[in-house]
Amino acid sequence: MIKITFPDKSVREYPKGITGIDIAQSLSSQLARDVLSITVNNQLWDVTRPINNDASIKLHKWDDEEGKHAFWHSSAHLLAETLETIYPGTKFGIGPAIENGFYYDIDTGDNVVIKESDLPEIEKKMLELARTKNDFIREEVSKANALKYFTQKNDEYKIELINDLEDGTITLYKQGNFTDLCRGPHLPNTSPIKAIKLLSVAGAYWRGDEKRKQLTRIYGISFPKQKMLDEYLILLEEAKKRDHRKIGKELELFTFSQKVGQGLPLWLPKGAALRERLENFLKKVQRDHDYQQVITPHIGQKELYVTSGHYAKYGQDSFQPISTPAEGEEFLLKPMNCPHHCEIYKSKPRSYKDLPIRLAEFGTVYRYEQSGELHGLTRVRGFTQDDAHLFCRNDQLKDEFKKVIDIVLYIFRTLDFKDFTIQISLRDKENHEKYIGSEENWEKAESAIIEACAEKELETVIEYGEAAFYGPKLDFMVRDAIGRKWQLGTIQVDYNLPERFDLEYMGSDNQKHRPVMIHRAPFGSMERFVAVLIEHTAGKFPLWLTPEQAVILPISEKYNDYAKKVLKLLNNYDIRAVLDDRNEKIGKKIRDNELKRIPYLLIVGEKEMELQHIAVRKQGEGDKGSMKIEEFANFVNSEVDEILKSSI
RNA sequence: GCCGAUGUAGCUCAGGGGUAGAGCGUUUCCUUGGUAAGGAAGAGGUCACGGGUUCAAUUCCCGUCAUCGGCUCCA
C-alpha cells in the first residue's frame, strides 16, 4: 500500500500502482468522469499513469488551468493526427495548449497550402476521430529510439527537439495511428473532446526565429460540451463588438488615411475631446505631485540619439534621418522624449536641494514599426506618450519610485481598471549585447525596483529579458471587462542615460554627483490607452470623459426653440450637451442616440416646455422622470466630481 | 519584414467576362409624432492602384498599396 496525500492534507492508503482516475473513482464516480489530469508531487501526470510510491496529489477538472491544459493539449494531438490523415507527409513542429485553446505548427511541404476555408473539413474529421475514443498511450523511450522513429518519419523538427532533450526523459504519446514527441499529460482518450472550432491559420517561424523557416500554424479551441463552445464563440463576438477600431469609427473618435500614411492616427473632434480630458486629468494629478510640464520639439539632431544610445540600438530600422539642404545636418524624428528632457536638466547647474526634478510632457514620438505590426491605435508609428522623467538623488530613488506607483494605481482606480498584474521586467543576464551600462548600475536599478515593490507590498511577477536596453522596468498590465490583458503603464529606473548625458548636481559636500533617472508613463501612450479604454468600456465612457454627456431630443420641431434654450443653459453649466433636432419621431431619435452611447437623453415636449423642465432618460436604463434644467446640471456635475474625488 | 486572407457607395455587405446592387446613413418632400426604426422620391461608385490577357476586365492573371488574422519586433 502507498500513502496518498490530498490537497487538504488528508491521507488515504491505496494499493501500489493506483492511477489518478482510480483515486477519483474511489471518491465519486462523477469525479472520475470529470478528472482530466493530476499533479503528482508537483509534476503533471496522466490520470491513467500508475503511482507506485507515496505521493501528494491534486486532481484537475475542467475548471482548473491544469485540466484545461491537458484537454487542449490532447486536442492539439488530435488536430495533428487529423492533418496527418488528410495531408500525408506533413511534418510537425510544436503543438501546445495556450491560454485559450491550442495550436499546432506544421510544415505541409511546398505543394500543399492550408487555407482558412479548409478548416471546417479538418474540424469535421477531428470530431470523427475523437469519437473513435482512441486512448492516449504514454511510452518512455530512449533518445536513440526516439530519433530513430522520427528519422524514419523524416520529421526534422521533432529530431531537432529530441536532440535538445536529455536521454531518459523522453516520452512519446500515441493515439490511433499518430505518435508524437510529448511530455504530456493527456486525457485518457479522445472521447471527451466533443466540440471543436479551428479559428485561424497563420504563419509562425520555427522556434520563434525569424531567420528560420516559417511554418503553418493552425489555432483552435475545444470543449467537452457544445454549449461551452457556443458560449465561447459568443464571447469572441462580444470582443469583436468592443473592437476599438470599430467603435472608434462608429463614434467618430479617430481615423486613418492612406494618404497621410499607415500607422499615423488622425484624431477626430470627439476623440480629441476625450483625449484632451484624459490629458488634463493627468496634468492635474501631476501638478499635485510637483511635476513641471515642459515642451520639446518633434525632431532632434542625430547626435542626440547617438549619445543616448538609441541610434546604435534602433537607428538602422528607424525612420531615416532628415537632412538640411545647406549644412547637411542630420535630424531624427524623436523616438523618445528622454534625451530632450536630459538636455533640459542640463540647461543650468543643479543643486542637491533642487532634486527631485520632475519633467512631464505629452511628447509625441515617431517609431518605424514594421508594417505587419500596425494595429488600430494600439500599435502605431506616431503616438503621444504621457511621459515624465524624474531626476533624483540616489537616496531619493526608492521614495520617488513609490510615489510613481501611487500615481499609476490612482489612475487605474479612477478609470475603473480593477484587475491588473504588475510585472518586474529585468534584463536577461545571458545576453549582454542587448543592454547598455555597467553591471553595477544594473544591479542598483534592479534592486531599487524590487525593493520599492516589496515596500509597497505589491504582488508582482518577475520576467527576465523584458527590461529596456538602458534599464529595468515595472510594467502594469490591466485586465479589461471581458478578461483580456493589456500592457499599459511603465516605470523604469535608469542609471545609464544620466551617465551618457553627463548629468550632474552639486551635493551638500560641494562635490559633483550623478543623478538617477526614472522614466514613467502611467497610460503608456494616449493612443494605446484610449484604445484599451474603448474596449474596456465598449464605448460607454464614464460621464467625466465622454465627449457628449447629454443629447436633447425635441418631441417635434415645434419644440426646437425651447430645446435650443435648454442646450444653451446646459452649456453654461459646463455640461457637454448636443441637440438632435432632426425631423424624426422621438422613438427613432432615442434609438439612434442610445446607439451613440450618450449617457443622458433629454426629451423635451409640450409638458417640459410649460414647466421649463427636461425629461431625463439614462442610457441603458430608461426614463428617470422630469426635472428642472438646473437640477439636472447639478446632478451631472456632482456625479463627475464624485468620481474624481472618490478615487483619491 | 514574413505567412495567409481581404479590398465594390459615407458605413455594413451581396454580385460577377458584356461599364453595378441591398440595407443603414445622407438630401428633398410629406408627416409634427411622448421613450429603441413613420412614409415617398432623389443624389451618391474610375468596383484600392498600376500593368497584362481579351473584341470587351470591376470580374481572370501579375505587381504595388492598404486592411485583417498570426509570427518576429516593440526604446
The model's pLDDT over A366-411, given as tens digits with 9 standing for 90+, comes to 999 999 999 999 999 999 999 999 999 999 999 999 999 999 999 9
Q: What CATH number has the domain bearing residue A451?
A: 3.30.930.10
Give the closest nucleotide to A336 (alpha carbon vs C1'): B75
A55-60 and A43-45 beta bridge pairing: unpaired
Residue A395 and residue A532 in one domain: yes
Catalytic residue numbers of A, as ranges: 338, 367, 385, 387, 389, 473, 519
Q: Mean pLDDT over residues A604-630, rounded?
A: 95
> Which residue, among A612, A618, A573, A577, has the nearest Cα to A594 in the 3D structure?
A618
Query: Average pLDDT, stretch A434-438?
Result: 90
Strand B nucleotides, any atom under 7 Å from protein beta carbons: they are: 1-5, 11-12, 25-26, 29-38, 65-75
d(CA A469, CA A494): 10
Q: What is the pLDDT of residues A337-377, one digit of tens each?
A: 999 999 999 999 999 999 999 999 999 999 999 999 999 99
Measured torsion, CA atoms of residues A234, A238, A241, A244, in degrees rounded to the nearest 10: -140
DSSP β-bridge partners for residue A223: A195
Contact A314, A363 (CB under 8 A): no
3-state secondary structure of A597: coil
Residues with Cβ within 8 Å of A242's Cβ and at least 6 positions away in sequence, in order, are A482, A534, A535, A538, A539
Residues A579-592 pLDDT 10s: 999 999 999 999 99
Under the banding of pLDDT at 50, 70 and 90, the label for residue A646 is low
CATH code, domain with A571? 3.40.50.800
Q: Specify whether A51 is located in the same domain as A139.
A: no
Distance A113 CA to B16 C1' (A): 26
Q: Which residue, counting CA atoms, is nearest to the C1' of nucleotide B11?
A: A250
Last residue of a domain, one of A40, A61, A82: A61
Structural domains in chain A (count): 4
Distance from residue A588's CA to nucleotide B30's C1', rounded to whole Å: 18
Q: Contact, A522 vs A489, CB < 8 A?
A: yes
Nucleotide nearest to A114 (CA to C1'): B4
Q: What is the pLDDT of residue A483?
A: 81
pLDDT at site A647: 53
Mean pLDDT of A591-598: 95
A514 and A554 belong to one structural domain: no
Residue A183, domain CATH: 3.30.980.10
Q: Please give the pLDDT value at position A433.
A: 85
CA angle A633, A635, A639 (to 5 degrees): 120
Nucleotide nearest to A308 (CA to C1'): B75
Query: Is residue A438 assigned to a domain?
Result: yes
CA–CA gap between residue A295 and residue A361 (Å, rounded): 6
Question: What's the rounded mean pLDDT across residues A116-133?
Answer: 92
* Confidence at A532, pLDDT banded by 50, 70, 90: very high
**Is the domain of A593 the same as that of A571?**
yes
Identify whether residues A372 and A467 lie together within a single domain: yes
Whether residue A464 is contained in a domain is answered as yes
A113 CA to B12 C1', in Å? 31
**Residues A80, A163 within the same domain:** yes
Q: Are residues A287 and A408 in the same domain?
A: yes
A250 CA, B24 C1': Å apart: 13
- Write down which residue in A61, A92, A108 finishes a domain: A61
Residue A258 CA and nucleotide B65 C1' are separated, in Å, by 9
Domain final residue, candidates A41, A61, A81: A61
Domain that holds residue A234: 66-239
Strands A195-205 and A214-223: antiparallel
Instruction: State the nucleotide closest to A103 in CA–C1' terms.
Output: B70
In a domain, A324, yes or no: no
Residues A47 and A86 in one domain: no
- Per-residue pLDDT of A462-482, as tens digits, reads 999 999 999 999 999 998 888
Q: A525 with A578, same domain? A: no
Residue nearest to nucleotide B3 (CA to C1'): A203
Which H helix or E strand runs over A567?
helix A560-572
| Residue A449: predicted pLDDT | 96
Nucleotide nearest to A487 (CA to C1'): B74
Sign of CA dihedral A490, A491, A495, A497: positive
Do A152 and A230 sit in the same domain of this protein? yes
- What values do phi and psi take at A151, rounded to 5? -70, -45
Residue A511 is placed in which grid cell? 562635490
**Distance in Å, residue A552 CA to nucleotide B4 C1':** 48
Strands (E), A294-393: 299-301, 322-323, 330-333, 357-366, 382-392
Q: Is residue A301 part of a domain?
A: no
Residue nearest to nucleotide B74 (CA to C1'): A369
pLDDT in tens, A1-43: 999 999 999 999 999 999 999 999 999 999 999 999 999 999 9
Distance A604 CA to B31 C1' (A): 19
On whether both A448 and A512 belong to a single domain, the answer is yes
Instruction: Provide CB contacts within 8 A for A235, sequence distance 6+.
Output: A482
- Report the nucleotide nearest the CA of residue A615, measured to C1': B35
pLDDT value for A645: 75
**In CATH, what number is assigned to the domain containing residue A57?**
3.10.20.30
The 8-class DSSP code of residue A328 comes to: -
The 10s digit of each residue's pLDDT in A273-330 is: 999 999 999 999 999 999 999 999 999 999 999 999 999 999 888 888 888 888 889 9
Identify the pLDDT of residue A213: 93
Confidence (pLDDT) at A439: 92
End-to-end CA distance of chain A: 61
- Nearest amino-acid residue to B34, taking CA and C1': A555
Question: Rounded to whole angstroms, how far apart are CA atoms A362 and A296?
Answer: 10
Tell me whether residue A542 is in a domain: no
Q: What Å value separates CA A577 and C1' B70?
A: 43
Report the distance separating Cα A329 and Cα A301, nearest Å: 8
Nucleotide nearest to A465 (CA to C1'): B74
Instruction: Answer yes or no: do A32 and A107 share one domain.
Output: no
Is pLDDT above 70 for A648? no
Q: Mind listing the pLDDT tens digit for each residue in A67-86?
A: 999 999 999 999 999 999 99
The whole-number Å distance from A606's CA to B34's C1' is 9
